[in-house]
């Protein structure tokens, strides 16, 4: 009888299944990781609601792209990686697209990493780093790239919209790097409370208080007689297309808007307002191998309060409970699938 393992899959919109699948078949350039923890990302929730990567698809979609674990098997041509190495996995490394439309997903007991290369798809964890923190390397890398795409100066006036895992990682890194004027907003009070525990971050739970704070701490100006905030950079981590218009209307001339939240719907943008302000609108997607490694190095400095990031750990058999928790920002921050034996 062939050995089997569990894999959490999307079968249809809002339909998950925990399936028994064949144990991975190892190629000479591959390795197998016994997954310890895999985080539930807001992107996973978007995939689930739409039924797949871009909508319903013919085959089940394996989930999970924020993971850590232990290498248990290596192919004959693998270099610099050994059995029993503790690792974080770059899901996009070597075009694997793990949990992002590829044939593998990290919400499994045993993950095949194809064409594994050290510091491209596989990153070794320090001995004193927990597997839970190891599973945060991926979302922190997303946040790090977002900051890099923002073209900030240390005196930049920064606004962050959305304080889910990516947004909270963004403000955490901004605070860590020494930025001094960070205003943030999220509708969930738990997220706002966590963000207000960081140096130089002022977070609010409603749009009116947020915009008042922008005017108070970033200053006010006008564009063709329209009152605006003197914010230099807005970072959108919400995926809420209606928010983009609100941000544009608040923006002064030459404001930079960085979109990193996954938008499922088309956004209607008033380009007259964009033109009047000569705005720069750009996006940030995923990360480079260098940013993934830098994320790991930053987290190795014990610079975050794990309890503020990870609120719940659920066994894979309790995946329905885990995903329901992940949808409620007042109850949960990061929910992780616990695959430890």
Q: How far apart are the first and last CA of the chain?
A: 22
Residue range 283-335, pLDDT digits in tens: 999 999 999 999 999 999 988 888 899 999 999 999 999 999 999 988 999 99
Tens digit of each residue's pLDDT (9 = 90 or more) over 150-206: 999 989 999 999 999 999 999 999 999 999 999 999 999 999 999 999 999 999 999
Quote the pLDDT of residue 289.
96
* Per-residue pLDDT, 317: 95
Task: Flag whether pLDDT at 255 surpasses 70.
Answer: yes
Domains 4-138+287-338 and 150-283 share a fold: no
Q: What are phi and psi of 44, to 5 degrees?
A: -60, -40
Residue 247 has, within 13 A of its CA and on its CB side, a CA count of: 33
Report the DSSP beta bridge partners of residue 141. none
What is the second-level CATH architecture of the domain 4-138+287-338? Alpha-Beta Complex (3.90)
Q: State the DSSP code for 323.
A: H
The set of residues, in sequence order, having a beta carbon less than 8 Å from that of 14 and lying 6+ positions away, is 48, 49, 51
Domain boundaries, the chain: 4-138+287-338, 150-283
Report the distance separating Cα 125 and Cα 131, nearest Å: 8
Question: What phi, psi does 226 have (nearest 5°)?
Answer: -90, 125
What pLDDT is stored for residue 1 in this prediction?
55
Taking the model in full, what pTM does it have?
0.94
Q: pLDDT for 27-38, tens place per residue?
A: 999 999 999 999
Angle, to 10 degrees, between the axis of helix 42-50 and the axis of helix 319-326? 110
pLDDT tens readout for residues 65-115: 999 999 999 999 999 999 999 999 999 998 899 999 999 999 999 999 999
pLDDT band at 5 (very low <50, low <70, confident <90, very high): very high
Topology of the domain comprising 150-283:
Rossmann fold (3.40.50)
What own/partner pairs with CB < 8 Å and gap ≥ 24 does 207-213 have? 207/246, 209/185, 210/159, 210/183, 210/184, 210/185, 211/250, 213/183
């Amino acid at each position: 009888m062939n050995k089997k393992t569990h894999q959490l899959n999307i079968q249809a919109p809002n339909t998950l299944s925990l399936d028994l699948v064949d144990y991975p078949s190892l190629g000479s350039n591959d390795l197998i990781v016994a997954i310890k923890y895999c985080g539930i990302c807001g992107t996973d929730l978007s995939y689930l609601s739409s039924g797949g990567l871009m909508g319903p698809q013919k085959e089940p979609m394996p989930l999970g792209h924020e993971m850590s674990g232990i290498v248990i098997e290596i192919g004959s041509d693998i270099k610099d990686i050994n059995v029993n190495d503790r690792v974080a996995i770059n899901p996009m490394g070597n075009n694997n697209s793990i949990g992002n439309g590829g044939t593998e997903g990290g919400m499994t007991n045993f993950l095949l990493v194809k064409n594994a290369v050290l510091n491209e798809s596989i990153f070794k964890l320090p001995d004193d780093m927990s597997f839970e923190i190891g599973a945060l390397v991926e979302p922190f890398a997303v946040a790090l790239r977002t900051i890099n795409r923002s073209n900030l100066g240390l005196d930049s006036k920064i606004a962050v919209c959305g304080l889910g895992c990516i947004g909270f990682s963004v403000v955490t890194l901004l605070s860590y790097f020494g930025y001094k004027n960070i205003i943030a907003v999220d509708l969930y009070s738990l997220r706002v409370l966590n963000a207000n525990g960081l140096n130089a971050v002022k977070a609010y739970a409603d749009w009116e208080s947020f915009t008042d704070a922008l005017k108070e701490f970033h200053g006010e100006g006008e564009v063709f007689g329209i009152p605006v905030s003197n914010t230099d950079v807005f970072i959108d981590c919400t995926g809420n297309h209606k928010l983009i218009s609100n941000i544009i209307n608040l923006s002064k001339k030459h404001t930079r808007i960085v979109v990193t939240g996954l938008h499922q719907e088309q956004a209607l943008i008033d380009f007259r307002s964009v033109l009047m302000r000569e705005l720069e609108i750009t996006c940030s997607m995923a990360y480079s191998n260098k940013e993934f490694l830098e994320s790991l190095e930053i987290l190795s400095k014990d610079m975050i309060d794990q309890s503020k990031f990870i609120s719940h750990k659920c066994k894979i058999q309790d995946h329905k409970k885990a995903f329901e928790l992940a949808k409620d920002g007042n109850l949960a921050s990061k929910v992780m699938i616990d695959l430890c034996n």
